[in-house]
Protein backbone atom coordinates (compact mmCIF):
# COMPACT_ATOMS: atom_id res chain seq x y z
CA UNK A 1 0.00 0.00 0.00
CA UNK A 2 1.11 3.53 -0.71
CA UNK A 3 2.20 5.09 2.56
CA UNK A 4 1.19 8.78 2.69
CA UNK A 5 3.75 9.60 5.37
CA UNK A 6 6.61 8.10 3.37
CA UNK A 7 5.38 9.86 0.24
CA UNK A 8 5.16 13.25 1.92
CA UNK A 9 8.67 12.83 3.32
CA UNK A 10 9.93 12.02 -0.17
CA UNK A 11 8.21 15.05 -1.67
CA UNK A 12 9.67 17.24 1.07
CA UNK A 13 13.15 15.97 0.24
CA UNK A 14 12.74 16.92 -3.43
CA UNK A 15 11.25 20.32 -2.56
CA UNK A 16 14.02 21.16 -0.10
CA UNK A 17 16.64 21.08 -2.84
CA UNK A 18 15.79 24.32 -4.62
CA UNK A 19 16.01 24.08 -8.40
CA UNK A 20 15.40 27.29 -10.31
CA UNK A 21 16.00 26.69 -14.03
CA UNK A 22 18.99 29.04 -13.89
CA UNK A 23 20.88 27.01 -11.24
CA UNK A 24 22.12 23.86 -13.02
CA UNK A 25 24.41 22.94 -10.12
CA UNK A 26 21.44 22.67 -7.76
CA UNK A 27 19.36 20.95 -10.43
CA UNK A 28 22.14 18.37 -10.80
CA UNK A 29 22.17 17.82 -7.04
CA UNK A 30 18.45 16.97 -7.01
CA UNK A 31 18.71 14.91 -10.19
CA UNK A 32 21.47 12.79 -8.64
CA UNK A 33 19.23 12.17 -5.64
CA UNK A 34 16.31 11.21 -7.90
CA UNK A 35 18.53 8.95 -10.01
CA UNK A 36 19.79 7.18 -6.88
CA UNK A 37 16.20 6.49 -5.82
CA UNK A 38 15.40 4.97 -9.20
CA UNK A 39 18.67 3.01 -9.29
CA UNK A 40 17.78 1.40 -5.95
CA UNK A 41 14.68 0.04 -7.67
CA UNK A 42 16.69 -1.44 -10.54
CA UNK A 43 15.91 1.27 -13.09
CA UNK A 44 18.33 2.07 -15.90
CA UNK A 45 19.78 5.58 -15.81
CA UNK A 46 20.89 7.90 -18.62
CA UNK A 47 22.09 11.50 -18.42
CA UNK A 48 21.76 14.37 -20.83
CA UNK A 49 24.46 16.74 -19.69
CA UNK A 50 24.07 20.43 -18.93
CA UNK A 51 24.19 22.70 -21.98
CA UNK A 52 23.87 26.51 -22.24
CA UNK A 53 23.39 26.72 -18.48
CA UNK A 54 20.36 24.39 -18.54
CA UNK A 55 20.13 20.83 -17.32
CA UNK A 56 21.12 18.15 -16.70
CA UNK A 57 18.14 16.08 -17.83
CA UNK A 58 17.57 12.52 -16.71
CA UNK A 59 16.33 9.46 -18.61
CA UNK A 60 15.15 6.39 -16.71
CA UNK A 61 13.75 3.04 -17.74
CA UNK A 62 12.10 0.19 -15.94
CA UNK A 63 14.19 -3.00 -15.49
CA UNK A 64 11.54 -4.90 -17.45
CA UNK A 65 9.88 -4.54 -20.83
CA UNK A 66 12.80 -4.46 -23.24
CA UNK A 67 13.39 -2.00 -26.01
CA UNK A 68 10.00 -1.77 -27.71
CA UNK A 69 7.53 1.08 -27.58
CA UNK A 70 6.48 1.94 -24.04
CA UNK A 71 4.90 4.45 -21.72
CA UNK A 72 6.73 7.76 -21.58
CA UNK A 73 6.37 9.71 -18.34
CA UNK A 74 7.33 13.36 -18.77
CA UNK A 75 8.24 15.45 -15.75
CA UNK A 76 10.29 18.57 -15.08
CA UNK A 77 12.07 19.42 -11.85
CA UNK A 78 13.02 23.03 -12.50
CA UNK A 79 10.95 25.71 -10.78
CA UNK A 80 10.39 29.44 -11.27
CA UNK A 81 11.35 30.29 -7.66
CA UNK A 82 14.77 31.88 -7.08
CA UNK A 83 17.27 30.34 -4.67
CA UNK A 84 16.50 31.40 -1.10
CA UNK A 85 12.70 31.26 -1.46
CA UNK A 86 12.61 28.14 0.72
CA UNK A 87 14.54 29.76 3.58
CA UNK A 88 12.61 32.95 3.48
CA UNK A 89 9.28 33.46 1.82
CA UNK A 90 7.98 29.95 1.12
CA UNK A 91 9.38 27.36 3.56
CA UNK A 92 8.08 23.80 3.42
CA UNK A 93 5.15 23.72 5.81
CA UNK A 94 1.95 21.80 6.38
CA UNK A 95 -1.32 23.50 7.18
CA UNK A 96 -4.24 21.07 7.36
CA UNK A 97 -4.55 19.34 3.97
CA UNK A 98 -2.08 21.72 2.35
CA UNK A 99 1.67 21.31 2.01
CA UNK A 100 3.52 24.43 0.87
CA UNK A 101 6.88 24.87 -0.80
CA UNK A 102 8.58 26.22 -3.94
CA UNK A 103 7.69 24.04 -6.91
CA UNK A 104 5.73 21.56 -4.81
CA UNK A 105 2.64 21.83 -7.03
CA UNK A 106 4.42 22.62 -10.31
CA UNK A 107 5.58 19.93 -10.32
CA UNK A 108 7.83 18.18 -7.84
CA UNK A 109 5.02 16.33 -6.08
CA UNK A 110 3.55 15.20 -9.41
CA UNK A 111 6.92 13.87 -10.56
CA UNK A 112 7.29 12.14 -7.21
CA UNK A 113 3.90 10.40 -7.58
CA UNK A 114 5.15 8.61 -10.70
CA UNK A 115 8.27 7.54 -8.80
CA UNK A 116 6.14 6.31 -5.88
CA UNK A 117 3.88 4.36 -8.25
CA UNK A 118 6.93 2.65 -9.77
CA UNK A 119 8.41 1.95 -6.31
CA UNK A 120 5.14 0.31 -5.30
CA UNK A 121 5.19 -1.97 -8.35
CA UNK A 122 8.80 -3.00 -7.70
CA UNK A 123 8.14 -3.68 -4.02
CA UNK A 124 5.25 -5.94 -4.95
CA UNK A 125 7.36 -7.71 -7.55
CA UNK A 126 5.08 -6.70 -10.41
CA UNK A 127 5.89 -5.73 -13.96
CA UNK A 128 3.90 -3.75 -16.48
CA UNK A 129 2.93 -4.96 -19.97
CA UNK A 130 4.85 -2.08 -21.59
CA UNK A 131 8.28 -0.79 -20.57
CA UNK A 132 8.19 2.42 -18.52
CA UNK A 133 10.45 5.30 -19.50
CA UNK A 134 10.85 8.63 -17.78
CA UNK A 135 12.24 11.84 -19.10
CA UNK A 136 12.84 14.28 -16.25
CA UNK A 137 13.89 17.66 -17.58
CA UNK A 138 15.27 20.86 -16.11
CA UNK A 139 14.27 23.70 -18.44
CA UNK A 140 10.51 23.42 -18.89
CA UNK A 141 9.84 26.72 -17.15
CA UNK A 142 11.82 28.63 -19.77
CA UNK A 143 10.28 26.87 -22.78
CA UNK A 144 12.46 23.72 -22.89
CA UNK A 145 15.21 25.10 -25.16
CA UNK A 146 17.71 22.29 -24.46
CA UNK A 147 15.22 19.46 -23.85
CA UNK A 148 12.72 19.78 -26.69
CA UNK A 149 14.74 17.68 -29.13
CA UNK A 150 15.29 15.05 -26.43
CA UNK A 151 11.53 15.02 -25.76
CA UNK A 152 10.73 14.59 -29.45
CA UNK A 153 13.26 11.77 -29.72
CA UNK A 154 11.81 10.06 -26.63
CA UNK A 155 8.45 10.13 -28.39
CA UNK A 156 9.85 7.81 -31.07
CA UNK A 157 9.88 4.98 -28.53
CA UNK A 158 6.55 5.81 -26.88
CA UNK A 159 3.05 4.48 -27.36
CA UNK A 160 1.44 6.61 -24.63
CA UNK A 161 2.59 9.80 -22.91
CA UNK A 162 1.76 10.73 -19.32
CA UNK A 163 2.68 14.24 -18.15
CA UNK A 164 2.86 14.81 -14.40
CA UNK A 165 2.01 18.52 -14.55
CA UNK A 166 -0.38 19.63 -11.78
CA UNK A 167 -4.03 18.63 -11.76
CA UNK A 168 -6.34 21.62 -11.57
CA UNK A 169 -9.81 22.85 -10.71
CA UNK A 170 -10.46 20.06 -8.22
CA UNK A 171 -8.20 17.36 -9.66
CA UNK A 172 -8.98 17.59 -13.37
CA UNK A 173 -6.43 16.35 -15.89
CA UNK A 174 -5.53 18.23 -19.07
CA UNK A 175 -6.29 16.97 -22.58
CA UNK A 176 -5.58 20.09 -24.63
CA UNK A 177 -3.25 23.05 -24.37
CA UNK A 178 -2.68 26.12 -26.44
CA UNK A 179 0.49 26.53 -28.42
CA UNK A 180 2.72 29.52 -27.81
CA UNK A 181 5.00 31.77 -29.80
CA UNK A 182 7.25 34.59 -28.62
CA UNK A 183 8.63 37.52 -30.55
CA UNK A 184 10.83 40.53 -30.00
CA UNK A 185 10.23 43.20 -32.66
CA UNK A 186 12.89 45.89 -33.04
CA UNK A 187 12.21 49.28 -34.67
CA UNK A 188 14.97 51.58 -35.89
CA UNK A 189 14.16 55.12 -37.08
CA UNK A 190 16.25 58.27 -37.07
CA UNK A 191 17.14 60.40 -34.05
CA UNK A 192 16.76 64.19 -34.14
CA UNK A 193 16.50 67.11 -31.72
CA UNK A 194 12.81 67.43 -30.96
CA UNK A 195 12.95 71.25 -31.12
CA UNK A 196 15.58 72.21 -33.69
CA UNK A 197 15.31 69.32 -36.20
CA UNK A 198 12.00 67.57 -35.53
CA UNK A 199 11.16 67.16 -39.23
CA UNK A 200 14.37 65.23 -39.80
CA UNK A 201 13.51 62.61 -37.21
CA UNK A 202 11.75 59.29 -37.80
CA UNK A 203 10.26 58.10 -34.55
CA UNK A 204 10.69 54.41 -33.83
CA UNK A 205 8.19 54.78 -30.97
CA UNK A 206 5.49 56.21 -33.20
CA UNK A 207 5.96 53.34 -35.65
CA UNK A 208 5.94 50.82 -32.82
CA UNK A 209 2.74 52.26 -31.37
CA UNK A 210 0.83 51.50 -34.57
CA UNK A 211 2.14 47.93 -34.51
CA UNK A 212 1.14 47.49 -30.87
CA UNK A 213 -2.49 48.21 -31.78
CA UNK A 214 -2.40 46.07 -34.92
CA UNK A 215 -0.75 43.14 -33.15
CA UNK A 216 -3.22 43.27 -30.29
CA UNK A 217 -6.04 43.36 -32.85
CA UNK A 218 -5.06 39.86 -34.04
CA UNK A 219 -6.60 38.65 -30.76
CA UNK A 220 -9.84 36.74 -31.35
CA UNK A 221 -11.27 35.54 -28.06
CA UNK A 222 -13.97 33.47 -29.76
CA UNK A 223 -11.27 31.63 -31.72
CA UNK A 224 -9.08 31.44 -28.58
CA UNK A 225 -6.24 33.31 -30.27
CA UNK A 226 -4.50 35.89 -28.11
CA UNK A 227 -1.69 38.33 -28.81
CA UNK A 228 -0.21 40.17 -25.86
CA UNK A 229 2.38 42.93 -26.13
CA UNK A 230 3.69 42.46 -22.64
CA UNK A 231 6.79 44.65 -22.76
CA UNK A 232 7.73 47.83 -24.61
CA UNK A 233 10.80 50.04 -24.49
CA UNK A 234 12.36 52.76 -26.58
CA UNK A 235 13.85 56.20 -26.91
CA UNK A 236 16.68 57.92 -25.11
CA UNK A 237 15.35 61.32 -23.95
CA UNK A 238 12.08 63.23 -23.89
CA UNK A 239 13.51 65.91 -26.21
CA UNK A 240 14.88 63.46 -28.78
CA UNK A 241 12.94 61.78 -31.58
CA UNK A 242 13.30 58.10 -30.68
CA UNK A 243 15.76 56.24 -32.86
CA UNK A 244 14.98 52.78 -31.46
CA UNK A 245 12.09 50.93 -29.84
CA UNK A 246 11.27 47.34 -29.04
CA UNK A 247 8.19 45.34 -28.18
CA UNK A 248 7.89 41.80 -26.82
CA UNK A 249 4.92 39.75 -27.90
CA UNK A 250 3.33 36.53 -26.60
CA UNK A 251 0.97 34.68 -28.99
CA UNK A 252 -1.32 31.74 -28.07
CA UNK A 253 -3.45 29.55 -30.33
CA UNK A 254 -5.51 26.36 -29.91
CA UNK A 255 -4.90 24.62 -33.25
CA UNK A 256 -2.46 24.28 -36.13
CA UNK A 257 -4.74 26.31 -38.35
CA UNK A 258 -5.04 29.14 -35.84
CA UNK A 259 -1.27 28.98 -35.39
CA UNK A 260 -0.62 29.46 -39.12
CA UNK A 261 -2.98 32.46 -39.31
CA UNK A 262 -1.69 34.16 -36.18
CA UNK A 263 2.01 33.66 -36.90
CA UNK A 264 1.65 34.81 -40.50
CA UNK A 265 -0.09 37.98 -39.30
CA UNK A 266 2.85 38.68 -37.01
CA UNK A 267 5.67 37.70 -39.34
CA UNK A 268 4.42 39.47 -42.48
CA UNK A 269 4.60 42.86 -40.79
CA UNK A 270 5.86 45.84 -42.81
CA UNK A 271 6.73 49.35 -41.69
CA UNK A 272 4.16 52.09 -42.24
CA UNK A 273 6.97 54.61 -42.46
CA UNK A 274 9.46 53.53 -45.10
CA UNK A 275 12.25 55.26 -43.16
CA UNK A 276 11.80 53.03 -40.14
CA UNK A 277 13.35 49.58 -40.20
CA UNK A 278 11.63 46.59 -38.59
CA UNK A 279 13.41 43.43 -37.48
CA UNK A 280 11.40 40.48 -36.13
CA UNK A 281 13.08 37.91 -33.88
CA UNK A 282 11.59 34.75 -32.42
CA UNK A 283 8.84 32.37 -33.45
CA UNK A 284 7.14 29.19 -32.33
CA UNK A 285 7.86 28.14 -28.76
CA UNK A 286 5.48 25.17 -28.34
CA UNK A 287 3.04 23.82 -30.94
CA UNK A 288 -0.63 23.44 -29.94
CA UNK A 289 -1.67 20.29 -28.09
CA UNK A 290 -5.01 19.41 -29.63
CA UNK A 291 -7.35 16.83 -28.14
CA UNK A 292 -6.88 14.05 -30.70
CA UNK A 293 -9.09 10.95 -30.84
CA UNK A 294 -6.20 8.93 -29.37
CA UNK A 295 -5.86 11.37 -26.46
CA UNK A 296 -9.62 11.25 -25.88
CA UNK A 297 -9.46 7.42 -25.69
CA UNK A 298 -6.56 7.59 -23.23
CA UNK A 299 -8.52 10.02 -21.09
CA UNK A 300 -11.62 7.76 -21.12
CA UNK A 301 -9.44 4.86 -20.02
CA UNK A 302 -7.99 6.92 -17.16
CA UNK A 303 -11.45 8.09 -16.15
CA UNK A 304 -12.55 4.47 -15.81
CA UNK A 305 -9.51 3.66 -13.65
CA UNK A 306 -10.17 6.69 -11.43
CA UNK A 307 -13.76 5.56 -10.92
CA UNK A 308 -12.47 2.15 -9.76
CA UNK A 309 -10.14 3.91 -7.31
CA UNK A 310 -13.03 6.04 -6.11
CA UNK A 311 -12.78 9.47 -7.63
CA UNK A 312 -14.09 11.29 -10.65
CA UNK A 313 -11.40 12.36 -13.11
CA UNK A 314 -12.57 15.46 -14.95
CA UNK A 315 -10.73 16.97 -17.88
CA UNK A 316 -9.95 20.52 -18.87
CA UNK A 317 -7.96 22.52 -21.41
CA UNK A 318 -5.23 24.99 -20.55
CA UNK A 319 -4.01 28.23 -22.07
CA UNK A 320 -0.51 27.40 -20.86
CA UNK A 321 1.82 25.02 -22.67
CA UNK A 322 3.74 22.04 -21.32
CA UNK A 323 6.24 19.54 -22.68
CA UNK A 324 3.24 17.42 -23.72
CA UNK A 325 2.76 19.93 -26.54
CA UNK A 326 5.85 18.57 -28.31
CA UNK A 327 4.31 15.09 -28.71
CA UNK A 328 0.53 15.55 -28.91
CA UNK A 329 0.52 15.75 -32.72
CA UNK A 330 1.56 12.10 -33.01
CA UNK A 331 0.85 10.34 -29.68
CA UNK A 332 -1.94 10.11 -27.11
CA UNK A 333 -0.97 12.52 -24.32
CA UNK A 334 -2.60 12.65 -20.90
CA UNK A 335 -1.39 15.72 -19.05
CA UNK A 336 -2.14 17.21 -15.63
CA UNK A 337 -2.20 13.85 -13.86
CA UNK A 338 0.11 15.10 -11.10
CA UNK A 339 -0.85 16.48 -7.72
CA UNK A 340 -3.88 18.67 -7.03
CA UNK A 341 -3.35 22.06 -5.39
CA UNK A 342 -3.05 25.69 -6.37
CA UNK A 343 -0.80 28.74 -6.54
CA UNK A 344 1.71 27.58 -9.17
CA UNK A 345 4.56 30.10 -9.53
CA UNK A 346 3.39 32.14 -6.50
CA UNK A 347 4.30 32.40 -2.83
CA UNK A 348 1.14 30.50 -1.85
CA UNK A 349 2.04 27.48 -4.00
CA UNK A 350 0.73 24.33 -2.31
CA UNK A 351 -0.39 20.77 -2.95
CA UNK A 352 -3.36 18.97 -1.41
CA UNK A 353 -2.13 16.06 0.69
CA UNK A 354 -5.41 14.21 0.19
CA UNK A 355 -4.81 14.03 -3.58
CA UNK A 356 -1.44 12.30 -3.17
CA UNK A 357 -2.54 8.65 -2.81
CA UNK A 358 -5.44 8.64 -5.31
CA UNK A 359 -3.34 10.29 -8.03
CA UNK A 360 -0.37 7.97 -7.41
CA UNK A 361 -2.76 5.02 -7.63
CA UNK A 362 -4.12 6.35 -10.91
CA UNK A 363 -0.60 6.58 -12.33
CA UNK A 364 0.13 3.08 -11.14
CA UNK A 365 -3.05 1.71 -12.71
CA UNK A 366 -2.23 3.47 -15.98
CA UNK A 367 1.22 1.85 -15.90
CA UNK A 368 -0.38 -1.55 -15.28
CA UNK A 369 -3.18 -1.40 -17.82
CA UNK A 370 -1.85 0.43 -20.90
CA UNK A 371 -0.86 -1.93 -23.66
ZN1 LIG B 1 5.15 22.65 -14.78
Domains 4-177+289-369 and 179-286 fall in the same CATH topology: no
CA of 209 to the centre of ligand 1 (A): 34
CA of 344 to the centre of ligand 1 (A): 8
Provide the percentage of residues in the chain whose pLDDT is more than 90: 98
CATH 3.30.420.40 for the 179-286 domain, yes or no: no
Residue 1, pLDDT > 90, answer no
Q: Phi and psi of 34, rounded to 5°?
A: -65, -45
Span 91-110, pLDDT tens digits: 999 999 999 999 999 999 99
CATH 1.10.10.10 for the 4-177+289-369 domain, yes or no: no
Alpha helices by DSSP H, the chain: 4-15, 24-40, 109-123, 148-155, 204-216, 256-267, 293-309, 356-369
Domain coordinates of the chain in residue numbers? 4-177+289-369, 179-286
Residue 170, pLDDT > 90, answer no
Question: What's the confidence (pLDDT) of residue 104?
Answer: 98
Rg (CA), the chain: 23
- The mean of the pLDDT values for the chain is 97
CA of 76 to the centre of ligand 1 (A): 7
Question: What's the confidence (pLDDT) of residue 348?
Answer: 97
Residues with CB under 5 A from ligand 1 (ion): 106-107, 165
The CA distance from 163 to 165, in Å, is: 6
CA of 321 to the centre of ligand 1 (A): 9
Span 128-159, pLDDT tens digits: 999 999 999 999 999 999 999 999 999 999 99
> What average pLDDT score do residues 256-271 get?
96
Residue 226, pLDDT > 90, answer yes
Amino acid sequence: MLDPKEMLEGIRRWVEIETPTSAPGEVARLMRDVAAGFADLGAGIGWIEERDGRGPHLELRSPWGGDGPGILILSHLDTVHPLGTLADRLPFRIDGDRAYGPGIYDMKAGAFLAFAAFRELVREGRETPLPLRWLITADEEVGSPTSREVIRAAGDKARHVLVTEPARDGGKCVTARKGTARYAIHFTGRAAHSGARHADGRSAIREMARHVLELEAITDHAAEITTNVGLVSGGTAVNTVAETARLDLDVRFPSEEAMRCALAAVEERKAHDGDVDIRIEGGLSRPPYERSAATARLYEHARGLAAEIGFELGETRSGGGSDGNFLADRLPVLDGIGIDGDGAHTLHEHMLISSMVPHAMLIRRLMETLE
